[in-house]
Every structure is written in structure tokens, then in C-alpha cells.
Amino acid sequence: MESTSTPPSASSVPSRISPDHPGVPELFAVLAYGEISAFYRLAEDARMARTLQGKVALASMASAEMAHFETLESALTARGFDVYEAMDPFVRALDDYHASTAPSTWLEALVKAYVGDGIAADFYREIGHSLPVEVAEIVEEVLAQTGHSEFVVQEVREAVTASSRDKDRLMLWGRRLLGEAITQAQFVLARREALTELVLSSYGDLNGVVALFDRMQEKHSERMAVLGLA
């Protein structure tokens, strides 16, 4: 899902961060664990699909997530890092997020695939303007749309149009996804100094980071509206 967020003005943002900034490998590592987690989650959620088309759609999205993981693995290896050791500090936060937002229905799985992944993508794209070009290109590549979003949108819109009960439940579900995602992002930033410094370098101070989360909420509302959940 493409982000249309407006980055901070050039006058308010420091120059691009050094490629050797210690937060860069941490950024790659948290993205890598996010991608491999998404792979397993999508593959598992595909079993709830009501149709063969649905199974294939989520399976294809899972395949794309694995390809993204491999890109990040290569980027970390090129910098002299072991991908598994690098990912380890982020396992708890991301596992907790997925455990607290495990879908119980097919429609919840679709909304999480569309909205939940979008929340994460918005966060990382927001800091992309200050990353070194070669780092920003990798980040953008692994945040690329995993495909089949049209299927997800059509399936959810048809369901919520037919059932106000489903619509109400999924609106609450979307709010929960956003809340849990922001909570876990804050958890990670509070414990990873280099990654936090990278984000702060992108926005200058904590006020900029607060504004970042505000924009994430705005983009979340836009995605919910696309699904007919406004």
C-alpha cells in the first residue's frame, strides 16, 4: 500500500543519516523479523479462507514476505551481521503483537493483512526521507505491496455491506490493530537505543516522533475507509 504521508519540511529535518549509523542494521533486523513473522502468519491464516482464491491470495502474499526477508538477510550479511542474532532483540515485541492480534475469523485475517501491514509500512516509510539512499532503497523494496490487495478490499467490502454486525466488529478490530501496533513500536524504541536515535535523527526531537504517530493514525483511517470501515 503506497504511503502518501507528507514528510517533514527540508528545513526541519537533519541531513541524511550516515550509512554506518548503528541504527541501520537494527532497522534491517526489525524489518527482517517482521517479514518472516508475516510469512508464517499469512500461511497460517490462509487455512481459514472460504475459497481456493482466498487461500491462493494469502499464500502469494506470504511468498512475497519471504522474498523480502531474503533481501534483508542479504543486506545484514553484507554488513557483517548474522541475521538470526540481529533479529533476536525484536522477537518478543513482534511475537507479542501477533499473539494479541491473532485473527479468529477469515474477515479479521483479511483486515489484518491489509491494515496491519500498512501500519508497519507507514512507520518505516516515514523515516525513509533521512536514510542513506542505498538503505532507503532496500527499505522501500521490502515494504512494497505484497499483492492481492484488490482481492482483500473486494472481499471485506462485500461482507460489511451485507452485514452491519460484521462491519461493527471489524471497525473495532481495526482500532485494536492500530493500538497494539503503536504500543509495540513504542516498546521497541524504548529498548533499542541505536534504533531510537535513528528515528529521532529523522525527526529532530520527540515532538516529531509524536507527529509521526499522528500521521500513522491518519493513514490507518484512510485504509479503513477503503475497506468500507469508516
pLDDT digits (tens, 9 = 90+) for 9-34: 434 444 568 888 889 999 999 999 99
Mean pLDDT, range 122-137, rounded to an integer: 83
The predicted structure's pLDDT at residue 25: 94
Q: Which uninterrupted H or E stretch holds 66?
A: helix 52-78
Give the DSSP H or E segment for 1.
none
Most confident of 87-96, 180-189, 194-203: 87-96
Average of per-residue pLDDT values in the chain: 86
Indicate the pTM of the whole model: 0.85
96-124 pLDDT per residue, tens: 999 999 999 999 999 998 998 888 888 88
Query: Domains in the chain, ordered, with CATH?
Result: 19-226 (1.20.1260.10)
Give the C-alpha distances (Å, rounded to integers) separating 225 from 28, 151, 218, 230: 31, 16, 11, 5
Amino acid at 38: A
pLDDT of residue 70: 95
HSE-CB of 146 using CA atoms within 13 angstroms: 28
Most confidently modeled range among 73-87, 118-132, 211-225: 73-87
The predicted structure's pLDDT at residue 145: 66
Q: How far apart are CA 160 and CA 157, in angstroms?
A: 5
List pLDDT tens digits, range 39-77.
999 999 999 998 999 999 888 888 889 999 999 999 999
Q: Would the pLDDT of 177 be above 60?
A: yes
